[in-house]
């Protein structure tokens, strides 16, 4: 029997603790849109996206109203464009990015993911054309997100691709310098990328996915923080149990919304991504959860342990609450999108090296990090390589979304506004890794990839 | 709130929450809208939490011609008039979170 306390608990979570559904993401396969004529391919892509996603936004709004829970974003992910465009007779894939941008605008979604390539073992002709088109595509479009998978546990790390990504990221920052390098906020480099991730900028519709599918990303750091505050001083068993229960409740809302959206759109329900996704709003911060656990500031000694506990307890609670959990499913620690992280960086409690350590025990990686604009491309590649190594060795997803802020130095800020927030520019190591990055080739897969 | 365990009219029940400072006429204001639009009240309960009146109504929308979204708008307007916050949500939002 539902009690008045339970009803009020749900109402409070939404009204005071920022519980929301971060995104319902419609995955759409574009594999049947390939054509030798790029314009014909783009027409097919536009028609398919607008046909399948036409009702996504109104249906999302209806569900939000009915259940009284905000659904912050409605988004679309598509088959990696490198695969769709590869057979078209063109060297420039900008036309594909512009088509995605137009389709997204037509159906009213703020981001569309899938300007992507999977190059963890090598780069095909289509992959190369896509990679070369990324700077222009992110400059000329508003809603398109790009991602590149450069490493897996099974294949190792494609260091040629890592080196290239360092240069590409610099180029993207340069071209979008008038917007503080905004293009870099829409470009993610992955190891072990999931094919059903609903969160931008890394979402795409994997090749093992159905024709179309609904995936849901939940939020809720504020709910977990309040729950953790209520058990101040208790032992770790109680703490973990409290986080588990909160994660369970948050995820149930995701499951409800996902199933409801899938049924109304007439497509299969894919997964709930149980990641704790912070927003710049005060109180909706993963860093503040860690601080509520007893750390004076996020980034100090003990942060990695606290995050490990948090991430594991969220998974245990979330896994019980949903029939299908997938995507990234771990706590996010994006600097620019988390007010607590920003404060820790400002107070010099949190450094890039500690963030790297934290990514060993949570999803997803070095996310929304601003570094000085004059950081060499090789250094960015080396930062990516470190993160990819963590993913490869630990058989987990890791990612890098880094902004070499044009014309800015440590102490300056990049300002993106909205959910992307603002980020203080963080220092990087000044010693070079250019000779290491420049070797070329692949870092072989680790011994434990030989699991057959 | 025993009605929530009864699955007979599943999918038709709406939970209305009223939060705010207590005053004369809150129940009358809410129930007047419900009666006018043919919502059957299954249960009402109220309590005081942190000095605020918290009232929860469970209503059956089976015979009402008004959809949930319109009901929400009318209740919200009434709430603004009375200085309290009123919301209406499908019961699944609560059942899914608290019950397996």
| Contact (CB<8Å) A8/B95 | no
- Which residues of chain A make contact with B15, given a CB cutoff of 8 A? 7
B4-23 tens-digit pLDDT: 444 444 568 999 999 999 88
For residue A364, whether the previous peptide bond is cis, meaning omega lies within 30 degrees of 0, is: yes
If one counts the domains in chain B, the total is 1
Query: B97 to chain A: which residues are within 8 Å by CB?
Result: 6, 10, 249, 252-253, 256
Give the end-to-end CA distance of chain B in Å, rounded to a whole number: 17
Residue B75 in domain = yes
Instruction: Give A92's contacts (C-beta < 8 A, 6+ positions apart).
Output: A129, A133, A136
Is position B39 within any domain?
yes
Distance CA A314, CA A244 (A): 5
Interface list for chain B against chain A, based on CB atoms closer than 8 Å:
1-2, 4-5, 15, 17, 19, 45-47, 49, 54, 56, 68-69, 72, 87-90, 92-99
On whether residue B2 sits in a domain, the answer given is no
Look at the block and give the residue holding tokens 């795409």.
A204
Residues of A in contact with B47 (CB under 8 A): 4
Query: CB of A222 within 8 A of CB of A181?
Result: no
From B2, B69, B94, residue closest to A7, measured CB to CB? B94
In the predicted model, what is the mean pLDDT of chain A? 94
Can you give the pLDDT at residue B11? Answer: 63
CA gap A401, A379 in Å, rounded:
14
Interface ipTM above 0.85: no
Range of the domain at B89: 21-98
Specify if B10 maps to a domain.
no
Rounded Cα–Cα distance for residues A54 and A71 (Å): 17
Contacts of B54 in chain A (CB under 8 A): 4, 8
- Does B5 reside within a domain? no
Query: In sequence order, what are the residues at sequence separation of 6 or more whose Cβ sits closer than 8 angstroms to the Cβ of residue A355?
Result: A299, A333, A335, A366, A369
What is the helix, strand, coil percentage profile of chain B, to 5?
35, 35, 30
CA distances to A213, A380, A440 from A384, in Å:
31, 6, 14
Of A291, A282, A384, A271, nearest in space to A337 by CA:
A282
Which pLDDT tens digit goes with each residue over A359-417?
A: 999 878 899 999 999 999 999 999 999 999 999 999 999 999 999 999 999 999 999 88
B43 part of a folded domain: yes
Mutate one of B52, B84, B98 to test the A interface: name it (highest A CB count within 10 A).
B98
The β-bridge partners of A365 are A399
CATH code of the domain covering residue B36: 3.30.70.260
Inter-chain residue contact A252 with B96, CB threshold 8 Å: yes
The reported pTM is: 0.92
Domain-embedded: residue B14: no
Percentage with pLDDT > 70 across chain A: 100
Instruction: Give the whole-angstrom CA distance, residue A324 versus residue A335.
Output: 29
Cα–Cα distance measured from residue A159 to residue A442, given in angstroms and rounded to the nearest whole number: 5
Residue B63 counted as domain residue: yes
pLDDT confidence band for A318 (50 / 70 / 90): very high
pLDDT tens-place string over residues B22-70? 888 899 999 999 999 999 999 999 888 778 889 999 999 888 888 888 9
Choose among B2, B56, B90: nearest Cβ to A4: B56
Across the interface, whether the CB atoms of B97 and A62 are under 8 A apart is answered no
């Amino acid at each position: 029997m539902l009690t008045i306390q339970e009803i009020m608990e749900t109402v409070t979570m939404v009204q005071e603790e920022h519980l929301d559904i971060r995104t319902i993401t419609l995955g759409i396969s574009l594999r049947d849109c390939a054509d030798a004529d790029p314009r014909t391919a783009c027409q097919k892509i536009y028609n398919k996206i607008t046909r399948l996603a036409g009702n996504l936004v109104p249906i999302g709004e209806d569900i939000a109203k009915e259940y009284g829970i905000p659904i912050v974003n409605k988004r679309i992910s598509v088959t990696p464009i490198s695969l769709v465009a590869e057979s078209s007779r063109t060297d420039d894939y900008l036309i594909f990015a512009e088509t995605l941008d137009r389709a997204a605008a037509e159906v009213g979604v703020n981001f569309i993911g899938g300007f992507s390539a999977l190059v963890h073992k090598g780069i095909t002709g289509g992959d190369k054309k896509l990679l070369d088109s990324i700077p222009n595509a992110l400059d000329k479009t508003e809603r398109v997100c790009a991602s590149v998978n450069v490493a897996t546990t099974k294949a190792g790390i494609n260091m040629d691709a890592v080196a290239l990504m360092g240069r590409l990221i610099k180029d993207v920052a340069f071209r979008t310098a008038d917007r503080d390098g905004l293009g870099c906020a829409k470009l993610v480099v992955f190891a072990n990328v999931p094919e059903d991730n609903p969160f931008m900028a890394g979402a795409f519709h994997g090749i093992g996915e159905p024709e179309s599918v609904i995936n849901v990303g939940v939020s809720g750091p504020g709910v977990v923080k309040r729950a953790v505050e209520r058990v101040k001083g208790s032992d770790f068993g109680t703490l973990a149990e409290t986080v588990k229960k909160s994660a369970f409740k948050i995820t149930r809302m995701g499951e409800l919304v996902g199933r409801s959206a899938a049924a109304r759109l007439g497509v299969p329900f894919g997964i709930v991504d149980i990641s704790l996704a912070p927003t710049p709003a005060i109180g909706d911060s993963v860093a503040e959860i860690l601080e509520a656990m007893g750390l004076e500031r996020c980034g100090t000694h003990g942060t990695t342990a606290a995050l490990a506990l948090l991430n594991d307890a969220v998974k245990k609670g979330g896994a019980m609450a949903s029939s299908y959990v997938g995507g990234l499913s771990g706590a996010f620690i994006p600097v620019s999108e988390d007010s607590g992280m920003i404060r820790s960086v400002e107070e010099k409690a949190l450094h890039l090296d500690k963030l790297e350590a934290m990514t060993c025990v949570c999803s997803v990686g070095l996310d929304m990090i601003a570094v000085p604009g004059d950081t060499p491309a090789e250094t960015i590649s080396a930062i990516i390589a470190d993160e990819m190594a963590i993913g490869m060795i630990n058989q987990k997803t890791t990612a890098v979304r880094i902004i070499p802020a044009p014309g800015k130095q440590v102490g300056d800020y990049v300002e993106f506004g909205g959910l992307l927030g603002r980020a203080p520019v963080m220092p990087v190591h000044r010693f070079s890794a250019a000779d290491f990055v420049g070797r070329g080739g692949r870092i072989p897969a680790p011994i434990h990839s030989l699991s057959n | 709130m025993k009605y929530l365990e009864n699955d007979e009219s599943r999918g038709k029940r709406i939970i209305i929450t009223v939060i705010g400072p207590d005053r004369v006429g809150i129940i009358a204001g809410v129930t007047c809208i419900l009666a006018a639009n043919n919502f059957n009240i299954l249960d009402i309960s109220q309590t005081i939490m942190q000095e605020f009146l918290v009232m929860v109504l469970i209503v059956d929308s089976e015979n009402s011609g008004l959809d949930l979204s319109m009901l929400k708008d009318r209740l919200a307007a009434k709430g603004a008039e009375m200085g309290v916050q009123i919301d209406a949500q499908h019961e699944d939002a609560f059942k899914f979170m608290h019950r397996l």
